[in-house]
A and B are shown apart, each in its own frame.
Chain A
């Protein structure tokens, strides 16, 4: 059995504002194992982003424990590349922050960028790139510090449909190619089915794990191929019903 990278144990999170308190998550228990690609889907406003903040350690749970073995890389809806830095400098950003800005680390990051089609854009500034390219650069930036787990917060939702399918395929191949562990949060059922090994379905706020599924695509990891397979539709139907309970 593989090691657990991330584990939530009876996690409850309540946050306070002037108007009152909101329970965003309640008694949440699940884990992500090494090399696994887990997707979490839930109705909108169920506190998905809160969950990632908990996983990243930006928030502490009110009750229960979050255990993470190793470092994490966070990828947001928008690429959030800094427009005053070149793509290359953007990719170095987490290295600078984590004080790992060594020659070897930088070389690895650039190698990764070149491997995944960014070699011509290293000297460019973000506004000169297409949305898809920018999101790809954001992924390379996330991978630069070689995190043990990737936290993906609806990373394709800001892209148009065609770009979205393409970038989704790219991201899948990069993450699988680098054998990374990933936790994806999305409201898009088909995206979750096309990417993940395992899917967790959350309830409305306060979020709890309502259902959990291992997907059976027989080792097929390419999103676009999965979409063509027979059981894709069946999974969609199951998850759609569970989401609307």
Chain B
């Protein structure tokens, strides 16, 4: 049954709706404006399209990549490396965080190692990774894991440690074991933090995989960018970058969708 609202409330709802519409119009407007200016700058000779490329040249490049069948090949390679690296980083990060939460001693022993690993620029390990894992996708997946895993660990550990002390006391008064406290309280209360960690790690995974492809690769979007740069085909560089933007946004949107599915909020 639909509820009858007062006139003021209907006006309020209509205003909210208008507001949302305005925001979307502005968002899309800015995108179109930027693309338009870019195209104009290139075609009217304000800037050299050899250096800046242009939306139409990007479209042509992508179309030709599609025509020779390499578009989805490169996307597929990078996407697969990113997703595998992302999943491994998240899984290992959560597992290590659990271990550190479980044992205060282990946590204190490992603390300095984690701090150093977190501060270390992972790209410094590039040559080592090539030598250890060769020049294939394994090396790139490893780089992706390396970039994401520490962030995942620290993020989840902070969430686990922030569990309400009084709720722990309550469970202990019921005679709960440490495992029960973990299962009934610590994990469910860390769910929002898990989602925010996934959001951060989507970004980390792309950094890892593209960085990996910069160091060593024969295929993938990172490869296209490096190759394009080396042979001065900036259309190719821009095209690959645009595709990356779309893919990263898509992966982020999937995490947001997951959030809506699993975080059932009481007020919804």
Q: Which residues of A contact B (CB under 8 A)?
A: 56, 58, 72-74, 76-78, 80, 82-84, 93-94, 96-98, 124-128, 145, 151
B184 lies within 8 A of chain A by Cβ: yes
Q: In the assembled complex, how far is the CB of residue A78 from the closest CB belonging to chain B, in whole angstroms?
A: 6
Task: Tell me whether A80 and B173 are in contact (CB under 8 A).
Answer: no
Give the contacting residue for A97; candidates B166, B169, B174, B189; CB below 8 A.
B174
A83, A124, A126, most chain B CB atoms within 10 A: A83
Separation of A76 and B180 alpha carbons in the complex (Å): 20
Task: Tell me whether B184 and A97 are in contact (CB under 8 A).
Answer: yes
Q: Which of B165-182 contact A (CB under 8 A)?
A: 166-167, 169-176, 180
Main DSSP-derived SS at the B contact region: helix
Q: In the assembled complex, how far is the CB of residue A3 from the closest CB belonging to chain B, in whole angstroms?
A: 22
B65 lies within 8 A of chain A by Cβ: no
**Please, which residues of chain B bring their CB within 8 A of the CB of A145?**
174
**Please, which residues of chain A bring their CB within 8 A of the CB of B170?**
74, 76, 80
Separation of A127 and B169 alpha carbons in the complex (Å): 21
Q: Which residues of B contact A (CB under 8 A)?
A: 164, 166-167, 169-176, 180, 184-185, 188-189, 191, 264, 266-267
**Please, which residues of chain A bring their CB within 8 A of the CB of B171?**
97
Separation of A56 and B169 alpha carbons in the complex (Å): 11
Q: Which residue of A lies closest to B164 (CB)?
A: A80
**Please, which residues of chain B bring their CB within 8 A of the CB of A96?**
184
Q: In the assembled complex, how far is the CB of residue B182 from the closest CB belonging to chain A, in whole angstroms?
A: 12
Q: For the complex of A and B, list the 9 residue pairs with the smallest distance between their C-beta atoms, beginning with the closest.
A: A125-B266, A74-B173, A97-B174, A127-B266, A94-B174, A97-B176, A80-B170, A56-B173, A80-B167
Q: List 11 A-B contacts (CB under 8 A).
A: A74-B169, A76-B166, A82-B167, A82-B189, A84-B264, A96-B184, A97-B176, A97-B180, A126-B266, A127-B266, A127-B267
Q: In the assembled complex, how far is the CB of residue B81 from the closest CB belonging to chain A, in whole angstroms?
A: 35
Task: Tell me whether B191 and A84 are in contact (CB under 8 A).
Answer: yes
